[in-house]
Amino acid sequence: MQDRPRRLRRTPALRALTREVHLHPEQFIHPIFVHERDTVTDIATMPGVQRHSIESAVEQAREALSLGIPSVILFGIPDHKDALGTQAYAEEGIIQRATRAIKASVPGISVIADTCLCEYTDHGHCGPLCEVPGLSGPDAWTVDNDPSLDLLARTAVSQARAGADVVAPSAMMDGQVAAIRAALDAAGFTHVPVMSYAVKYASAYYGPFRDAAGSTPSVGNRATYQMDPAGGYREALREARLDAEQGADTLMVKPVLAYLDVLSLLKREFDLPVVAYNVSGEYSLIKAAAAAGFMDERRTVLETLTGMRRAGADAIITYHAMDAARWIAEDARK
C-alpha cells in the first residue's frame, strides 16, 4: 500500500506535528455565579461548581488568569427578586459590585456580564410578563418583548458603567442587540462589545443552571422566545443575521453539543467570532458519568472541547475551563 495514514499516528510527537485543531486556555471563558452572601456554596446539580461571594469571585478571576484563561462571565443571584428584575440594572446590583471588585483586583482579566433578567425576576423569565392572546392557564404567559428592551438596555449600561469589558445579552428578545448598542453608544460606551447569544435554543440541557441561578420559570414557557431545537438552519441564520446587522460583535450558539452543525454554519456564513456555550447540562452529564466510572473525565472533557473548536468555535464558555487549563498545562510539560 502506498497510502498509509497510520504512519503519522505512530508516536505522540508525530500526532502533535500533524494536529490541525489546537486547544488553549486563552480560548476559554470561565463562568462564575455570584450571590449576595459571604459564603461559598456548592451547587448540587453541578459538581465542582459553586455560588461565590464577591470576595471569592475575585479569587476565581485571579486563579483563572493565572491559568491563562483571559475572560470570565458573571451570573448574578440577588437576594431580592421582583416582577421587573430591578436588581439586574441597579447600580449596586450584585453583578455591578462584583464587576467593580474584580476589575479593581484583577485588572488583567476581561469581565463579561451576562445581560439578562431571568435571574432577577420573581417569575424566572427574561423580562416582564404578558398574556398570550387566545390561551389560558399557566402556559398563557410569555415575556412582553418591547418593554423588556428598555430594561435590558438599562442593564447593559449599568454593567458597562461598573467596568464590564463585554455585555452578553441572553434574553432572546427581538431587537435586543439594537436597543443595547444604541444605549451603550448614547451613554459613551462605544468601546464596549456586545457578545450576542444569537442562537439560543429552548433546551433541556439548561436544567442544572436553573438550579444554580434559581431561575426556573414559575409560569409560562421559554419556548415562546427561545428557539425550537427542530427549527433548522433557516431560523438560526435569520437570528444570527439580525443580530449581526444590529451591531453584535460576536455570535454565540447555546447549547453546543447537540448543535455543532449550527456552530459550523455560523462560522461559514458570518465574518464574526463565534462563541460556543458548553452549558450546565453538558457539563453535568460528563461529571455524572465520570463519577460513576463510566468515562475518563479528563479525556472526555478535552475531546469534547476540541470538537467544539473543530466545529468552528473561536471561544468556549465552559464550566470545565479551570480543569481543562490545568490538564493542557500538564500535557505541555510532558
Tell me the catalytic residues.
Answer: 200, 254
Spatial distance between the Cα atoms of 198 and 253, rounded to a whole number of angstroms: 7
Please give, one letter per residue, the 3-state secondary structure of the chain.
CCCCHHHHHCCHHHHHHCCCCCCCHHHEEEEEEEECCCCCEECCCCCCCEEECHHHHHHHHHHHHHCCCCEEEEEEECCCCECCCHHHCCCCCHHHHHHHHHHHHCCCCEEEEEECCCCCECCCCCCCEEECCCCCCHHHEEECHHHHHHHHHHHHHHHHHHCCCEEEECCCCCCHHHHHHHHHHHCCCCCCCEEEEEEEECCHHHHHHHHHHCCCCCCCCHHHCCECCCCHHHHHHHHHHHHHHHCCCEEEEECCHHHHHHHHHHHHHCCCCEEEEECHHHHHHHHHHHHCCCCCHHHHHHHHHHHHHHHCCCEEEECCHHHHHHHHHHHHHC
Which residue's entry shows cell 426556573?
216
Residue 144 has which C-alpha cell? 412582553
Whether 58 and 70 have beta carbons less than 8 Å apart is answered as no
> Could you give phi then psi for residue 110, rounded to 5 degrees?
-90, 125
Spatial distance between the Cα atoms of 126 and 179, rounded to a whole number of angstroms: 15
Spatial distance between the Cα atoms of 152 and 196, rounded to a whole number of angstroms: 13
